Amino acid sequence: MALVERQRFPRRKVCGECIAATNLPLLASLGVGEAFKALAGPELRRVTLLQGERSVTAELPAADHADFRWGRALGRETLDNLLLERARAAGASVFQPWAVQSILGAAGAWHCELRALETSVRLRLRASVVIDAHGSWEDLPTDRPRRRLARGAADLFAFKANFTGAAVPEGAISVLALDGGYGGMVVADGGITTVAGCIRRDRLGQLRAASPGLRAGEAVQAWMQQGCAGVHAALKGAERDGPWLTAGPLDPGMHVQARDGIFRIGNAAGEAHPILGEGMSMALQSAAMLCSILPARAHGVALPDGRAQADLQRRYAVAWRGAFAPRLRLAATFAHVAMRPRSAAVLMHVVQAWPGLLTRGARWGGKVRFAEPGPMSAPQPARSG
């Protein structure tokens, strides 16, 4: 088993870093539950929606589990490293910092071209099963022409920075409705505040044209602070810890399909607008779903050949859509409402009258129910010789 990661860890990453409680049993079963418990920020029990001068706070729903009720935030420099080290301890050969350049062949007989980023050494790995977990913000070399063609004014670019000394209430997720984008703020591990958000390409262009001296991240910070009183108050006495990081353009939508023989998890399978903070849930839960159908090498069974993989692919794609498509749709609706000042103002009126809608929204967005990969059990695999 090989794991290929192009960046050297630990590294910070563009992400709001809130892990929904639905993932905590999974993290525990992977052996990182205790570390998560020891390191993550305060339990997240409230959500605040902020727009312009206004804000509405509501309770978040507790997850439906006796031991894991509340989500928490943990920096990706810590979480991703914990998971990678568990994979190594479980026997994966880790290639890092190496990049997958291309994936050739067919299910059952793949050839993956890898390149070491520090030495440019190249290597070809043979594999029966390939799982694409490369996210959606960095193109595989083979995807670049398609992505270049798809550029548009409505593309979203993502930004994130950490702050010390910010006046953000502990235990609450702040969701920001901004003119031409949206964002979030939360207190994560070590009392550090994470501020992350997305902005349309055309809006970012306007901001940069209006303030040519500012870097993109600084322009985005000014946009957040000027457009939202809550962000202004939170960051007034704060100090940025490290640079603004950027990623994108985002690629929201379903990419999971059963055509090319490659299994996809996380953003590579489908990306939700991050306004619900469910992307890591979908990454972890889709990985668990796929593991529940792939026969485990550790149990001495042969890996499925191309034909068997085609069947598993179809079943995985169906299960993936059933589990995650509703979250994608809800996130897209919320994001498009939040990005437009008029619809966001209407939403604020509604939630001021009925704050429980935010609680309901979190429930509909997957914050309560645990992913149960059980029903996808694989057909009986052949014993290896």
In the sheet with 122-127, reading across from the earlier edge strand, the strands are 98-106, 109-116, 122-127
Using the structure block, give the residue that is written with the tokens 């290597």. Answer: 123
Whole-number Cα distances in Å, 363 to 189, 221, 337: 24, 30, 18
Of 96, 98, 105, 101, the C-alpha closest to 126 is 105
What's the min distance (Å) between Cβ of 95 and ligand FAD? 8
Contact present, 15 and 160 (Cβ < 8 Å)? yes
Contact present, 359 and 61 (Cβ < 8 Å)? yes
Nearer to ligand FAD, 112 or 308 (CB): 112
Site residues (CB under 6 A) for ligand FAD, limited to 18-37: 18
Whole-number Cα distances in Å, 73 to 29, 178, 181, 370: 19, 22, 22, 18
Nearer to ligand FAD, 174 or 281 (CB): 281
266 part of the interface to ligand FAD, by CB under 6 A = yes
108 part of the interface to ligand FAD, by CB under 6 A = no
The region of 12-20, 35-43, 164-172, 303-311 touching ligand FAD under the rule CB under 6 A is 12-20
Site residues (CB under 6 A) for ligand FAD, limited to 172-191: none
Size of the site for ligand FAD (CB under 6 A): 31
Binding string, 189-218, against ligand FAD, x = CB under 6 A?
A: -------xxx--------------------
Q: Identify the residue among 30, 49, 56, 158 touching ligand FAD (CB under 6 A).
A: 158
DSSP secondary structure, 300-345, as one string = TBPPP-HHHHHHHHHHHHHHHHHHHHHHHHHHHHHHHHHHSHHHHH
What's the min distance (Å) between Cβ of 339 and ligand FAD? 13
Site residues (CB under 6 A) for ligand FAD, limited to 278-297: 278-281, 283
Q: Which residues bind ligand FAD (CB under 6 A)?
A: 4-7, 14-18, 99-100, 133-135, 138, 140, 158, 160, 196-198, 266-268, 274, 277-281, 283
